[in-house]
Amino acid sequence: PGARPRVLNVGRIAAALLERLAQDHDVTDLAGERDLAARLQCEAASFQALVTSAPVGVDAAMMAALPGLQVISSFGVGLDRIDLAAARGRGIQVGYTPHVLDDCVADTAMGLVLDAARGLSAADRYVRAGRWPGGPFPTMRKVSGARLGIVGMGRIGQQIAARAAGFRMEVAYHARQPVSGLALRHEPSLHALARWADFLVLALPGGAATRHIVDAAVLDALGPQGFLVNIARGSVVDEQALVEALASGRIAGAGLDVYEHEPQVPARLLQLDNVVLLPHVGSNTRETRAAMADLVVRNLRAFFEQGQVVCRADPPAA
Ligand code: 8YV
Protein backbone atom coordinates (compact mmCIF):
# COMPACT_ATOMS: atom_id res chain seq x y z
CA PRO A 1 0.00 0.00 0.00
CA GLY A 2 1.11 3.56 -0.73
CA ALA A 3 1.71 6.24 1.84
CA ARG A 4 -1.36 7.44 3.74
CA PRO A 5 -2.72 10.71 2.30
CA ARG A 6 -1.65 13.78 4.23
CA VAL A 7 -4.60 15.79 5.55
CA LEU A 8 -4.39 19.29 7.00
CA ASN A 9 -7.23 20.44 9.26
CA VAL A 10 -7.99 24.15 9.62
CA GLY A 11 -11.65 23.79 10.69
CA ARG A 12 -13.35 23.90 14.05
CA ILE A 13 -14.24 20.22 14.26
CA ALA A 14 -14.58 17.76 17.12
CA ALA A 15 -11.59 15.77 18.36
CA ALA A 16 -13.50 12.54 17.64
CA LEU A 17 -13.66 13.42 13.94
CA LEU A 18 -9.93 14.16 13.86
CA GLU A 19 -9.31 10.75 15.45
CA ARG A 20 -11.46 9.02 12.84
CA LEU A 21 -9.64 10.79 10.04
CA ALA A 22 -6.34 9.71 11.57
CA GLN A 23 -7.30 6.04 11.06
CA ASP A 24 -6.85 6.34 7.27
CA HIS A 25 -4.88 9.56 6.91
CA ASP A 26 -1.82 11.29 8.24
CA VAL A 27 -3.52 14.26 9.94
CA THR A 28 -1.96 17.59 10.88
CA ASP A 29 -4.21 19.87 12.93
CA LEU A 30 -3.56 23.58 12.46
CA ALA A 31 -7.02 24.89 13.41
CA GLY A 32 -6.79 28.55 14.33
CA GLU A 33 -3.35 29.02 12.77
CA ARG A 34 -3.28 32.25 10.76
CA ASP A 35 -0.16 32.00 8.66
CA LEU A 36 -0.16 28.48 7.22
CA ALA A 37 2.64 29.14 4.75
CA ALA A 38 5.00 30.34 7.50
CA ARG A 39 4.02 27.51 9.81
CA LEU A 40 4.32 24.70 7.25
CA GLN A 41 7.24 26.01 5.18
CA CYS A 42 8.66 23.25 2.94
CA GLU A 43 6.12 20.72 4.26
CA ALA A 44 3.25 22.66 2.64
CA ALA A 45 3.44 20.82 -0.69
CA SER A 46 2.98 17.42 0.94
CA PHE A 47 -0.74 17.84 1.81
CA GLN A 48 -3.25 16.30 -0.60
CA ALA A 49 -6.34 17.14 1.44
CA LEU A 50 -7.67 20.01 3.53
CA VAL A 51 -10.43 19.64 6.12
CA THR A 52 -12.33 22.74 7.21
CA SER A 53 -15.67 23.79 8.74
CA ALA A 54 -18.22 26.10 7.15
CA PRO A 55 -17.39 29.28 9.11
CA VAL A 56 -13.62 28.99 8.49
CA GLY A 57 -12.46 30.50 5.20
CA VAL A 58 -10.44 28.76 2.52
CA ASP A 59 -9.38 31.46 0.07
CA ALA A 60 -7.25 31.40 -3.06
CA ALA A 61 -4.13 32.34 -1.06
CA MET A 62 -4.53 29.32 1.22
CA MET A 63 -4.93 27.04 -1.79
CA ALA A 64 -1.83 28.59 -3.36
CA ALA A 65 0.09 27.95 -0.14
CA LEU A 66 -0.74 24.22 -0.44
CA PRO A 67 0.45 23.37 -3.96
CA GLY A 68 -0.19 19.62 -3.62
CA LEU A 69 -3.84 20.08 -2.65
CA GLN A 70 -6.34 17.86 -4.52
CA VAL A 71 -9.42 17.87 -2.30
CA ILE A 72 -11.17 19.97 0.36
CA SER A 73 -13.67 18.34 2.72
CA SER A 74 -15.81 20.85 4.60
CA PHE A 75 -17.87 20.17 7.73
CA GLY A 76 -21.06 22.07 6.88
CA VAL A 77 -23.38 23.01 4.03
CA GLY A 78 -22.50 26.70 3.69
CA LEU A 79 -19.92 27.37 1.00
CA ASP A 80 -19.70 31.15 1.30
CA ARG A 81 -16.21 31.07 2.83
CA ILE A 82 -14.68 28.72 0.25
CA ASP A 83 -13.44 30.22 -3.03
CA LEU A 84 -15.01 27.59 -5.31
CA ALA A 85 -13.81 29.29 -8.49
CA ALA A 86 -10.20 29.23 -7.26
CA ALA A 87 -10.63 25.56 -6.31
CA ARG A 88 -11.92 24.72 -9.77
CA GLY A 89 -9.06 26.69 -11.35
CA ARG A 90 -6.59 24.54 -9.45
CA GLY A 91 -8.46 21.29 -10.13
CA ILE A 92 -9.30 20.89 -6.43
CA GLN A 93 -12.54 19.01 -5.65
CA VAL A 94 -14.67 20.37 -2.81
CA GLY A 95 -16.82 18.07 -0.67
CA TYR A 96 -19.41 19.34 1.82
CA THR A 97 -22.31 18.04 3.95
CA PRO A 98 -25.73 18.97 2.50
CA HIS A 99 -29.01 17.11 3.27
CA VAL A 100 -28.01 15.64 6.66
CA LEU A 101 -28.49 18.91 8.58
CA ASP A 102 -31.74 20.09 6.94
CA ASP A 103 -33.97 18.75 9.74
CA CYS A 104 -32.05 20.33 12.59
CA VAL A 105 -31.58 23.71 10.92
CA ALA A 106 -35.31 23.80 10.06
CA ASP A 107 -36.14 22.76 13.64
CA THR A 108 -34.01 25.65 14.89
CA ALA A 109 -35.82 28.07 12.57
CA MET A 110 -39.20 27.03 13.99
CA GLY A 111 -37.78 27.24 17.51
CA LEU A 112 -36.73 30.82 16.84
CA VAL A 113 -40.13 31.69 15.32
CA LEU A 114 -41.89 30.36 18.42
CA ASP A 115 -39.43 31.90 20.85
CA ALA A 116 -39.38 35.34 19.19
CA ALA A 117 -43.19 35.49 18.96
CA ARG A 118 -44.13 33.99 22.31
CA GLY A 119 -41.14 35.29 24.26
CA LEU A 120 -40.19 31.87 25.61
CA SER A 121 -36.60 32.79 26.49
CA ALA A 122 -37.72 36.16 27.86
CA ALA A 123 -40.41 34.41 29.94
CA ASP A 124 -37.79 32.03 31.32
CA ARG A 125 -35.63 35.02 32.32
CA TYR A 126 -38.75 36.57 33.88
CA VAL A 127 -39.38 33.53 36.10
CA ARG A 128 -35.72 33.16 37.08
CA ALA A 129 -35.47 36.84 38.00
CA GLY A 130 -38.37 36.35 40.46
CA ARG A 131 -40.60 38.78 38.57
CA TRP A 132 -43.70 36.54 38.29
CA PRO A 133 -45.16 37.41 41.72
CA GLY A 134 -44.91 41.08 40.69
CA GLY A 135 -47.35 40.62 37.80
CA PRO A 136 -48.09 38.58 34.69
CA PHE A 137 -45.73 38.25 31.73
CA PRO A 138 -46.70 40.50 28.78
CA THR A 139 -49.16 39.04 26.27
CA MET A 140 -47.45 37.94 23.07
CA ARG A 141 -48.01 37.12 19.36
CA LYS A 142 -49.77 33.96 18.11
CA VAL A 143 -47.80 31.76 15.69
CA SER A 144 -50.32 29.16 14.46
CA GLY A 145 -52.13 30.42 11.38
CA ALA A 146 -49.80 33.42 10.86
CA ARG A 147 -48.05 34.38 7.58
CA LEU A 148 -44.58 32.97 7.07
CA GLY A 149 -42.31 34.41 4.38
CA ILE A 150 -39.28 32.26 3.61
CA VAL A 151 -36.30 33.78 1.81
CA GLY A 152 -34.41 31.06 -0.05
CA MET A 153 -36.26 27.85 -0.95
CA GLY A 154 -33.57 25.20 -1.06
CA ARG A 155 -33.52 22.01 0.98
CA ILE A 156 -33.69 23.84 4.33
CA GLY A 157 -36.35 26.34 3.21
CA GLN A 158 -38.53 23.43 2.07
CA GLN A 159 -38.17 21.71 5.44
CA ILE A 160 -39.20 24.94 7.18
CA ALA A 161 -42.27 25.15 4.92
CA ALA A 162 -43.14 21.52 5.77
CA ARG A 163 -43.00 22.29 9.49
CA ALA A 164 -45.04 25.48 9.05
CA ALA A 165 -47.85 23.40 7.53
CA GLY A 166 -48.25 21.74 10.94
CA PHE A 167 -48.80 25.21 12.40
CA ARG A 168 -51.39 25.92 9.66
CA MET A 169 -49.29 28.91 8.60
CA GLU A 170 -49.77 30.63 5.26
CA VAL A 171 -46.44 30.27 3.45
CA ALA A 172 -44.91 32.26 0.59
CA TYR A 173 -41.29 32.52 -0.48
CA HIS A 174 -38.78 34.67 -2.26
CA ALA A 175 -36.00 33.14 -4.35
CA ARG A 176 -34.25 34.20 -7.54
CA GLN A 177 -36.32 31.64 -9.44
CA PRO A 178 -39.54 29.83 -8.51
CA VAL A 179 -38.78 26.25 -7.48
CA SER A 180 -40.43 24.01 -10.06
CA GLY A 181 -43.00 21.56 -8.78
CA LEU A 182 -43.45 23.40 -5.48
CA ALA A 183 -47.03 24.23 -4.51
CA LEU A 184 -46.10 27.41 -2.63
CA ARG A 185 -46.52 31.01 -3.75
CA HIS A 186 -43.31 32.52 -5.14
CA GLU A 187 -42.96 36.25 -4.52
CA PRO A 188 -40.51 37.92 -6.93
CA SER A 189 -40.08 40.96 -4.68
CA LEU A 190 -38.38 40.58 -1.30
CA HIS A 191 -39.97 43.89 -0.19
CA ALA A 192 -43.44 42.63 -1.08
CA LEU A 193 -42.80 39.38 0.81
CA ALA A 194 -41.62 41.34 3.87
CA ARG A 195 -44.70 43.59 3.73
CA TRP A 196 -47.00 40.54 3.56
CA ALA A 197 -45.26 38.37 6.17
CA ASP A 198 -45.72 38.25 9.93
CA PHE A 199 -42.50 36.21 10.12
CA LEU A 200 -39.66 36.55 7.63
CA VAL A 201 -37.29 33.57 7.85
CA LEU A 202 -33.93 33.69 6.09
CA ALA A 203 -32.75 30.38 4.63
CA LEU A 204 -30.57 31.43 1.71
CA PRO A 205 -26.84 31.09 1.04
CA GLY A 206 -24.41 33.75 2.25
CA GLY A 207 -21.67 35.33 0.14
CA ALA A 208 -21.25 38.42 -2.00
CA ALA A 209 -24.45 37.88 -4.03
CA THR A 210 -26.75 38.05 -0.99
CA ARG A 211 -24.81 40.46 1.25
CA HIS A 212 -27.16 42.82 3.15
CA ILE A 213 -30.19 41.93 1.03
CA VAL A 214 -32.14 42.43 4.25
CA ASP A 215 -31.50 46.14 4.80
CA ALA A 216 -33.35 48.96 6.57
CA ALA A 217 -35.94 49.16 3.77
CA VAL A 218 -36.79 45.44 4.00
CA LEU A 219 -37.02 45.70 7.79
CA ASP A 220 -39.37 48.68 7.45
CA ALA A 221 -41.48 46.65 5.02
CA LEU A 222 -41.67 43.87 7.64
CA GLY A 223 -42.88 46.54 10.02
CA PRO A 224 -43.66 47.01 13.73
CA GLN A 225 -45.73 43.79 13.89
CA GLY A 226 -43.19 41.67 12.00
CA PHE A 227 -40.48 39.27 13.18
CA LEU A 228 -37.19 38.37 11.49
CA VAL A 229 -35.55 34.95 11.92
CA ASN A 230 -32.07 34.23 10.55
CA ILE A 231 -30.63 30.71 10.45
CA ALA A 232 -28.65 31.40 7.25
CA ARG A 233 -25.64 33.70 7.45
CA GLY A 234 -25.09 36.96 9.33
CA SER A 235 -23.87 38.55 6.10
CA VAL A 236 -27.34 38.54 4.52
CA VAL A 237 -28.60 41.10 7.07
CA ASP A 238 -27.37 44.66 7.58
CA GLU A 239 -26.78 44.08 11.29
CA GLN A 240 -26.55 47.78 12.19
CA ALA A 241 -29.92 48.39 10.54
CA LEU A 242 -31.36 45.38 12.40
CA VAL A 243 -30.12 46.66 15.77
CA GLU A 244 -31.71 50.06 15.06
CA ALA A 245 -35.00 48.47 13.94
CA LEU A 246 -35.20 46.27 17.06
CA ALA A 247 -34.23 49.06 19.46
CA SER A 248 -36.73 51.53 18.00
CA GLY A 249 -39.60 49.04 17.60
CA ARG A 250 -39.63 49.40 13.80
CA ILE A 251 -39.87 45.58 13.79
CA ALA A 252 -41.48 43.57 16.60
CA GLY A 253 -38.65 41.15 17.27
CA ALA A 254 -36.08 38.74 15.93
CA GLY A 255 -34.53 35.32 16.42
CA LEU A 256 -30.90 35.02 15.35
CA ASP A 257 -28.57 32.04 15.08
CA VAL A 258 -25.96 33.83 12.95
CA TYR A 259 -24.18 37.20 12.99
CA GLU A 260 -21.97 39.30 10.75
CA HIS A 261 -18.84 38.92 12.91
CA GLU A 262 -19.17 35.63 14.79
CA PRO A 263 -18.57 34.98 17.59
CA GLN A 264 -19.07 38.70 18.25
CA VAL A 265 -22.67 39.73 18.93
CA PRO A 266 -23.45 43.48 18.90
CA ALA A 267 -23.48 44.67 22.53
CA ARG A 268 -26.77 46.54 22.02
CA LEU A 269 -28.57 43.29 21.18
CA LEU A 270 -27.66 41.87 24.60
CA GLN A 271 -29.72 44.63 26.21
CA LEU A 272 -32.88 43.96 24.18
CA ASP A 273 -35.64 41.59 25.29
CA ASN A 274 -37.29 41.39 21.83
CA VAL A 275 -34.48 39.39 20.27
CA VAL A 276 -33.52 35.74 20.84
CA LEU A 277 -29.78 35.14 20.48
CA LEU A 278 -28.33 31.70 19.69
CA PRO A 279 -24.61 30.93 19.22
CA HIS A 280 -24.79 29.39 15.69
CA VAL A 281 -26.24 26.07 16.82
CA GLY A 282 -28.60 25.27 13.90
CA SER A 283 -26.98 21.92 13.13
CA ASN A 284 -25.75 21.28 16.65
CA THR A 285 -27.28 17.97 17.74
CA ARG A 286 -25.37 14.76 18.38
CA GLU A 287 -27.31 12.99 15.62
CA THR A 288 -26.72 15.62 12.94
CA ARG A 289 -23.13 16.37 13.87
CA ALA A 290 -22.39 12.61 13.67
CA ALA A 291 -23.99 12.46 10.21
CA MET A 292 -21.97 15.51 9.11
CA ALA A 293 -18.76 13.95 10.44
CA ASP A 294 -19.54 10.71 8.55
CA LEU A 295 -19.92 12.66 5.34
CA VAL A 296 -16.64 14.54 5.87
CA VAL A 297 -14.91 11.16 6.21
CA ARG A 298 -16.82 9.55 3.30
CA ASN A 299 -16.05 12.50 1.02
CA LEU A 300 -12.32 12.06 1.61
CA ARG A 301 -12.39 8.28 1.40
CA ALA A 302 -14.38 8.30 -1.84
CA PHE A 303 -12.00 10.86 -3.31
CA PHE A 304 -8.91 8.81 -2.52
CA GLU A 305 -10.50 5.49 -3.53
CA GLN A 306 -12.59 6.51 -6.56
CA GLY A 307 -11.42 10.00 -7.45
CA GLN A 308 -14.80 11.61 -6.59
CA VAL A 309 -16.15 13.00 -3.33
CA VAL A 310 -19.72 11.87 -2.46
CA CYS A 311 -21.22 15.37 -2.20
CA ARG A 312 -19.40 17.75 -4.48
CA ALA A 313 -19.73 21.55 -4.43
CA ASP A 314 -19.30 23.30 -7.75
CA PRO A 315 -18.94 27.01 -8.43
CA PRO A 316 -22.28 28.64 -9.32
CA ALA A 317 -22.92 28.93 -13.06
CA ALA A 318 -21.80 32.37 -14.28
C1 8YV B 1 -21.40 24.73 10.72
C2 8YV B 1 -22.99 25.73 9.22
O3 8YV B 1 -20.87 23.86 9.82
O4 8YV B 1 -23.40 23.92 7.80
C5 8YV B 1 -23.16 25.11 7.90
O6 8YV B 1 -23.04 25.85 6.91
O7 8YV B 1 -22.93 26.91 9.34
C8 8YV B 1 -22.87 24.88 10.43
O9 8YV B 1 -23.49 23.67 10.29
C10 8YV B 1 -21.15 24.26 12.07
O11 8YV B 1 -21.46 25.28 12.92
C12 8YV B 1 -19.70 23.85 12.28
O13 8YV B 1 -18.88 24.96 12.31
164 located within any domain = yes
311 within a domain of the structure (yes/no)? no
Pairing relationship of beta strands 227-230 and 275-277 according to DSSP bridges: unpaired
CATH number, residue 62: 3.40.50.720
> For ligand 1, what atom is nearest to the CA of residue 79?
6
Q: 262 an active-site residue?
A: yes
Same domain, 65 and 146: no
Strand 253-256 with 49-53, pairing: unpaired
Whole-angstrom distance, CA of residue 237 vs CA of residue 217: 11
Asked whether residue 89 falls in the same domain as residue 198, the answer is no
Residue 210 falls inside a structural domain: yes
Q: Please indicate whether residue 233 is annotated as part of the active site.
A: yes
| Pair (198, 302) in one structural domain | no
| 247 and 293 housed in the same domain | no
93 shares its domain with 133:
no
65: domain range? 6-100+286-306
Is residue 315, in this structure, part of any structural domain at all? no
Structurally, how many domains does the chain consist of?
2
- Probe residue for ligand 1, chosen from 53, 284, 286 as the CB with the greatest number of ligand atoms within 8 Å: 53
Q: Is residue 316 part of a domain?
A: no
Residues 107 and 246 in one domain: yes
pLDDT, one tens digit for every residue, the chain (318 residues): 568 999 999 999 999 999 999 999 999 999 988 788 888 888 999 999 999 999 998 999 999 999 999 999 999 999 999 999 999 999 999 999 999 999 999 999 999 999 999 999 999 999 999 999 999 999 999 999 999 999 999 999 999 999 999 999 999 999 999 999 999 999 999 999 999 999 999 999 999 999 999 999 999 999 999 999 999 999 999 999 999 999 999 999 999 999 999 999 999 999 999 999 999 999 999 999 999 999 999 999 999 999 999 999 988 876
**72: nearest Cα among 233, 316, 286, 296:** 296
Instruction: Clarify whether residues 32 and 159 are in a common domain.
Output: no
pTM passes above 0.95: yes
Tell me whether residue 68 is in a domain: yes
Q: How far is the CA of 76 from the centre of ligand 1 (A)?
A: 4
Residues with CB under 6 A from ligand 1: 12, 53-55, 75-78, 101, 280, 283
